Amino acid sequence: MRFFDTHTHLDYLAESLNLSISTLVENAQKYQVEKILVVSVFAKNFEKVTACANEKPENIVYGLGLHPLYIQEHCLSDLDLLENALSLKDPQCTAIGEIGLEKAVAKVSSPELWKKQCSFLEAQLSFAQKFKLPVNLHSRKSHDQLFVFLKKAQLSKNGVVHGFAGSYEQAKRFVDLGYKIGVGGTITYQRANKTREAIRKLPLNSLLLETDSPDMPVFGFQGQPNRPERLIEIFSSLCQLRHESPTVIAETIWQNSEGLFS
């Protein structure tokens, strides 16, 4: 079996653990995690994310984007920096992300900042269309609003709603629009009934696996930085929820991931 961790912040994980990118990749490979997507959150970490991929180009690809949680810190010139970076058309840059909408945190959801979030999302979706790149999407308490933006954008490459935590009906709307659903540590918690049921019922060809390292810890590792090798724990939980064999699940999700982000 082989796995593709489709959402990480490997630059932050390396800093928090004081480990090299090469060591993190080698640790992941011991658990058959062969490929990793690293996404950015600020313009100021574009260079670090790019450097991660340059260090292990056979294993790492990257995405550039401006995260909605930090909308207060983003400025219009950051959009220019993003467009300029994307215009280089680095083959290792295979996504625009992490982008999206955030309504779970009050300080970034005021009417003024929500308007700014929406403006930045629209701009980055237009970059996705211009450069023919898929999007890696953040959405917390904003699935319905995000759906409207995605339906309007009609991207040629679509993308994934990462770290999905919601109902089957919400997920199915994204899937029907052509988007993948990112399956993360949430499903390793028995109490996450709604999300687990959604992931059980969705078509297998709509699913990707991710850790969101160093965030979104899996059950049993709470309080510890998450790591790409723990993708195997998420896979194990997924196998318990699905009717397909582990081999079919692993190979289908590998093909889903490769098709979108390679």
Q: What's the CATH code of the domain at 84? A: 3.20.20.140
Q: In the predicted model, what is the mean pLDDT of residues 49-77?
A: 97
Share of the chain above pLDDT 90, in %: 99
Q: For residues 70 and 262, which has the higher predicted lDDT (pLDDT)?
A: 70
**Which whole number is the average pLDDT over 197-220?**
97
Measure Cα distances from 8 to 46, 104, 119, 150, 182 in Å.
Answer: 14, 21, 25, 22, 12
Mean pLDDT of the region 148-158: 96
What's the average model confidence in pLDDT over 13-40?
A: 97
Q: Compute the average pLDDT of residues 78-101.
A: 97
Per-residue model confidence (pLDDT) at position 221: 94
- What total of structural domains would you count in the chain? 1
Place of tokens 């991207």: 155
The whole-number pLDDT of residue 217 equals: 94
Distance separating alpha carbons of residues 206 and 58, to the nearest angstrom = 25
Binding-site residue ranges for a divalent metal cation: 7, 9, 98, 138, 162, 212
> Which residue positions form the known binding site?
7, 9, 98, 138, 162, 212
Structure-token match 């723990």, residue found: 230
Write down the pLDDT at residue 87: 97
Structure tokens at 91: 């083959």
CA–CA gap between residue 118 and residue 116 (Å, rounded): 5
Helix (H/G/I), strand (E/B), else coil: 39: strand
At residue 188, the pLDDT reads 97
Average pLDDT along the chain: 97
User: pLDDT per residue over 110-135, tens digit each?
Assistant: 999 999 999 999 999 999 999 999 99
Residue 114: the pLDDT is: 97
Its domain, for residue 45, covers 3-261
pLDDT category at 245 given cuts 50, 70, 90 is very high
**Tell me, what's the pLDDT at 143?**
95
- Give the pLDDT confidence of 131-147 residue by residue, as tens digits: 999 999 999 999 999 99
Q: Which residue has the tokens 């996404």?
A: 39
pLDDT value for 127 = 98
DSSP code of residue 115 = H
pLDDT at res. 118: 98
